[in-house]
Amino acid sequence: MLKIITLYNIVLKFKQFLFMKKYFITGISTGVGKTIVSAIFVEALKADYWKPLQAGNLECKDTDVVKSLVSNNISKFHAETYKFKTPASPHYAAELENIVIDPDNFKIPETSNHLIIESAGGLMVPLNKNFLMIDLIKKFETEVILVSQNYIGSINHTLLSVEALKNRSIPIKGIVFNGERNESSENYILEYTGIPCVLRVEQEKNINKNTILKYSNLIATLIRQI
């Protein structure tokens, strides 16, 4: 009987592992809303959250921001692998503290839950002389959710980001548009890339737990299926 129970537990854990989702949320540039989108997905999936690298704002890290916006009591927030004082490109922020970022130090947290990973900056941000943020995404072999925001040049930045991901055979689960609407730009991006829009976040006056809950409730059913 004990053997049967043990086998059942092993099978159950294996099934849970198979269906656990890991998404790497990155953006077409800095400041396009990755942290807010991360909070929405964490809430919708009741997922764990991890930001591998934080550069600057150590008094209010992105991990702290996401934690303050999430309402559920299931999500866990994993410690950053690297934290630097200077709000700059990670390779430079590390250099100022006489540190060289070693890609081998990045290990995905062990968890039986879904996991949302948030990038620092855009895809081509350097972590050291030879290793970019996109290389870290490739190392983790996770699917990407790409956050786009409408501004002059955003079509170019979005298409270049999509091309860079495709060139490295990194799967893109979907695009999130954040902020002021521009239907012409958004429609062009979706039609040209063939990538679905999984969420649109409007220009919100206030970002708080209720805001995050509103969007997480809108997409909860959808993202459990993707």
Tell me how far apart the alpha carbons of residues 209 and 128 are, in angstroms, rounded to a whole number.
36
pLDDT digits (tens, 9 = 90+) for 31-52: 999 999 999 999 999 999 999 9
- Mark the ranges of the chain whose per-residue pLDDT is less than 50: 1-18
* Cα three-residue angle 106-61-86, rounded to 5 degrees: 80
Distance of CA 154 to the CA centre of its chain: 19
**Which residues make beta-bridge pairs with 22?**
115
Residue with tokens 């959808």: 222
- Measured between alpha carbons, how far is 25 from 40 in angstroms, rounded to an integer? 11
- Whether 94 and 128 have beta carbons less than 8 Å apart is answered as yes
In this predicted structure, what is the pLDDT of residue 218?
83
For domain 27-225, the question of CATH label 3.40.50.300 is answered with yes
Query: Which secondary-structure segment (H or E) carries 136?
Result: helix 133-140
CA atoms within 13 A on the CB side of 158: 29
Rg of the chain in Å (alpha carbons) = 18
pLDDT at position 219 is: 78
The encoded tokens of residue 102 equal 């070693």
Q: Domain ranges for the chain, please list them.
A: 27-225
pLDDT for 140: 95
Which H helix or E strand runs over 15?
helix 2-19
In degrees to the nearest 10, what's the CA dihedral of 70, 20, 171, 127?
60
Dihedral (CA of 196, 159, 43, 48) sign:
positive
In angstroms, how far is the first alpha carbon of the chain from the final one?
37
Tokens of 17: 């592992």
| Backbone φ and ψ of 159, nearest 5° | -65, -40
DSSP-assigned letter for residue 109: P
What was the pLDDT predicted at 208?
96
pLDDT per residue over 131-151, tens digit each? 999 999 999 999 999 999 999
Evaluate whether 37 touches 215 at the Cβ level (below 8 Å). no
pLDDT of residue 54: 97
Choosing from 3, 46, 51, 138, which is the catalytic residue? 51
76 is catalytic: no
